[in-house]
């Protein structure tokens, strides 16, 4: 039996071990919130997907809680956009999926992952469901889903995903302290229509619960309106984070 050249063997091994999807989760002092999500992601890891957590200098026990549940634990500069770009730079997947630490996966997530095998290039996001059973959350989530479909602009808690080739070609997320998700959506919608997944991705309603529904809705709308009229994200971040 003829022996294959070394370089041919290397190519074959790399093709066989190609990773379809890299899931990137930026965290900072969220050890209690990110473990449920990472636990849900374990079946994806068993099916050849990669899970990457990028820690923004946490002072809690994030590293201890996260390490057994990920393929890569990276340390990054504080800032969601910076952390996500750090994860993307180290990712090996054909597709990149960015999740918030308090997300909850839909039960049929493997069906969506299977669909990615037949796609070469593009981007998209999920419709969302807010945690909690109070009726205002149903109204808010319906509005968010309607708005994102109509405008083709998604927020980070909607699980933005991109083919790695496309993400790299556009330079990743802009170095913004806030609105990096809106900025990248607006950039992308001019070039490709988003793929809007049929499954609901659940996100935490804790901000609405802690600060009040009306106050939070007005804050979110106000920030987006200010961004639309050109207010720099660094000022918006001070309002959002209370700095």
More confident residue, 60 or 9: 60
74-111 pLDDT per residue, tens: 998 999 999 999 999 999 999 999 999 999 999 999 99
pLDDT for 32 equals 81
Residues with Cβ within 8 Å of residue 55, at least 6 apart in sequence: 27, 28, 62, 63, 66, 73, 74, 75, 76, 83
Region 209-219 average pLDDT: 84
Residues with Cβ within 8 Å of residue 18, at least 6 apart in sequence: 94
pLDDT for 207 equals 82
pLDDT for 17 equals 56
Tokens of 57: 């200098």
Quick one: pLDDT band at residue 1, thresholds 50, 70, 90?
A: very low
Per-residue burial over 106-125, b = 16 or more CB atoms within 10 Å of its CB, e = otherwise: beebeebbeebeeeeebbbb
**Torsion sign across C-alpha atoms 225, 142, 162, 238:** positive
3-state SS class at 79: coil
More confident residue, 242 or 49: 49
pLDDT for 27 equals 94
10 Å CB burial of residue 85 (0-12, 13-18, 19+) is buried
Q: Which residues pair with 50 in a beta bridge?
A: 22
The mean predicted confidence, pLDDT, of the chain is 88
Q: Rounded to whole angstroms, how far apart are CA atoms 238 and 184?
A: 21
Q: Which option is the CATH number for 18-204: 3.10.20.740, 3.90.550.10, 3.40.1350.10, 3.40.50.300?
A: 3.90.550.10
């Amino acid at each position: 039996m003829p022996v294959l050249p070394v370089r041919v063997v290397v190519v074959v091994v790399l093709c066989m071990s190609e990773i379809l999807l890299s899931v990137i989760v930026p965290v900072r002092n969220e050890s209690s919130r990110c473990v449920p999500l990472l636990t849900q992601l374990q079946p994806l890891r068993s099916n050849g997907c990669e899970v990457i957590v990028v820690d923004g200098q946490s002072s809690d026990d994030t590293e201890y809680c996260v390490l057994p549940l990920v393929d890569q634990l990276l340390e990054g500069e504080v800032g969601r956009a910076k952390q996500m770009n750090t994860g993307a730079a180290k990712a090996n997947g054909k597709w990149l999926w960015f999740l918030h630490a308090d997300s909850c996966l839909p039960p049929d997530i493997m069906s969506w992952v299977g669909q990615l095998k037949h796609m070469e290039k593009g981007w998209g996001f999920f419709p969302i469901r807010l945690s909690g059973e109070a009726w205002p959350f149903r109204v808010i989530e319906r509005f968010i889903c309607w708005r994102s479909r109509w405008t083709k602009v998604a927020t980070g808690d909607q699980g933005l995903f991109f083919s790695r080739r496309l993400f790299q070609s556009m330079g990743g997320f802009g170095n913004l302290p806030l609105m990096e998700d809106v900025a990248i959506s607006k950039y992308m919608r001019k070039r490709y229509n988003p793929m809007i997944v049929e499954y609901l991705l659940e996100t935490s309603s804790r901000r609405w619960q802690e600060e009040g529904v009306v106050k939070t809705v007005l804050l979110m709308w106000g920030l987006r309106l200010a961004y639309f009229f050109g207010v720099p994200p660094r000022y918006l971040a001070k309002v959002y984070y209370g700095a």
